[in-house]
């Protein structure tokens, strides 16, 4: 595997480690508040980077930031009505959406990539599928997966045009601005903003700092750097490792049960990623 593939695997590892952190934070804060605050912390870190950024980078950063935020908003809405397991499975459909949408953008995914995507989705299904369907929530979650699939494609197309650090910085500033607006609208007519400081304890603040500095600012930079050299469909497959790492950290840190079915599903996802690298390794 190339160093850029390893970089994206590290990104998914860090994302997977956010699961227990989010568990702690969402005990006192809403998903909207967690998202807005983590983006604001990340934006503060990136302010020195974005002071002198070309207009073209701001333009692409706005598009990418909006796509990510739409994905988060749609997923958060869906989670109000369906389980996190069902949400994880529906969100994983972006692994299949990326190569299929890529065809519309002129890409030609190989049968190996398509087969790997199907295996990865099946594996995530074994890990996370359960009942409890809700038509509107399911549709919103699938729409969020669609938005993230577009993000992966656009990032692969445009990352090479900009400095990775500047592109990550503009995305984060846009996400912070839009996320703050989202939080203000969600708090309209309530006292949640007044009680927000009192609900942020030191452990939650430390978790938000990790989410903002490491999981958002650091990982968006690595994404922007690595996806200059990794195709969108292969990147989507690598990102399918996130629920595998999340399940592993939940098992290690939160003592959550890891069933044999879930373990087998996780092994399928790992196998799909390795399979996607087969041709590159043997050529």
pLDDT in tens, 216-267: 899 889 988 988 888 888 888 888 777 777 777 767 766 666 677 777 877 8
> According to the model, what pLDDT value does residue 277 have?
64
Query: pTM for the complete prediction?
Result: 0.77
Distance CA 176, CA 184 (A): 12
> Which whole number is the average pLDDT over 49-58?
90
C-alpha torsion angle, residues 23, 172, 146, 82 (rounded to 10): 20
**Are the beta carbons of 86 and 139 closer than 8 angstroms?**
no
- The confidence band for 282, taking pLDDT boundaries of 50, 70 and 90, is very low
**Mean pLDDT across 62-87:** 79
Q: What is the mean pLDDT of residues 99-122?
A: 76
How many Å apart are CA 128 and CA 118, to the nearest integer? 15
For helices 111-128 and 232-239, give the axis angle rounded to 10 degrees. Answer: 20
Residue 128 — very low, low, confident or very high, per pLDDT cuts 50/70/90? low
The overall average pLDDT reported for the chain is 81
> What stretches of the chain show up as alpha helix (H) in DSSP?
3-25, 31-50, 55-79, 84-91, 94-104, 111-128, 135-158, 164-186, 192-199, 202-209, 219-226, 232-239, 242-253, 260-276, 278-282
Nearest to 171 by CA among 66, 275, 98: 66
pLDDT at 283: 41
Answer for the pair 98, 153: CB distance below 8 angstroms, yes or no: yes
Q: What integer is the mean pLDDT of 58-78?
A: 86
């Amino acid at each position: 595997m190339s160093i850029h593939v390893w970089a994206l695997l590290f990104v998914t590892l860090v994302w997977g480690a956010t699961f227990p952190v989010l568990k702690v934070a969402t005990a006192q804060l809403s998903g909207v508040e967690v998202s807005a605050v983590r983006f604001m912390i990340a934006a503060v870190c990136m302010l020195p980077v974005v002071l002198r950024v070309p207009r073209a980078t701001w333009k692409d950063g706005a598009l990418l930031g909006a796509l990510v935020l739409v994905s988060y908003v749609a997923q958060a809405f869906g989670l109000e009505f369906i389980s996190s397991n069902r949400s994880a499975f529906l969100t994983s459909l972006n692994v299949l959406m990326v190569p299929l949408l890529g065809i519309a953008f002129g890409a030609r995914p190989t049968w190996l990539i398509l087969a790997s995507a199907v295996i990865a989705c099946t594996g995530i299904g074994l890990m996370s599928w359960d009942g409890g369907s809700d038509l509107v929530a399911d549709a919103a979650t699938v729409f969020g997966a669609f938005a993230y699939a577009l993000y992966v494609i656009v990032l692969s197309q445009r990352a090479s045009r900009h400095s990775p650090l500047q592109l990550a910085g503009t995305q984060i500033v846009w996400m912070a601005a839009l996320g703050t607006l989202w939080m203000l609208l969600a708090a309209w007519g309530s006292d949640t903003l007044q009680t927000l400081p009192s609900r942020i304890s030191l452990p939650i603040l430390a978790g938000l700092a990790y989410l903002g500095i490491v999981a958002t600012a650091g990982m968006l930079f690595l994404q922007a750097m690595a996806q200059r050299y990794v195709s969108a469909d292969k990147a989507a497959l690598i990102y399918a490792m996130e629920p595998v790492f999340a399940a592993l950290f939940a098992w290690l840190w939160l003592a959550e049960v890891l069933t044999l079915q879930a373990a087998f599903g996780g092994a399928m996802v790992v196998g799909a990623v390795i399979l996607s690298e087969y041709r590159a390794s043997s050529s």
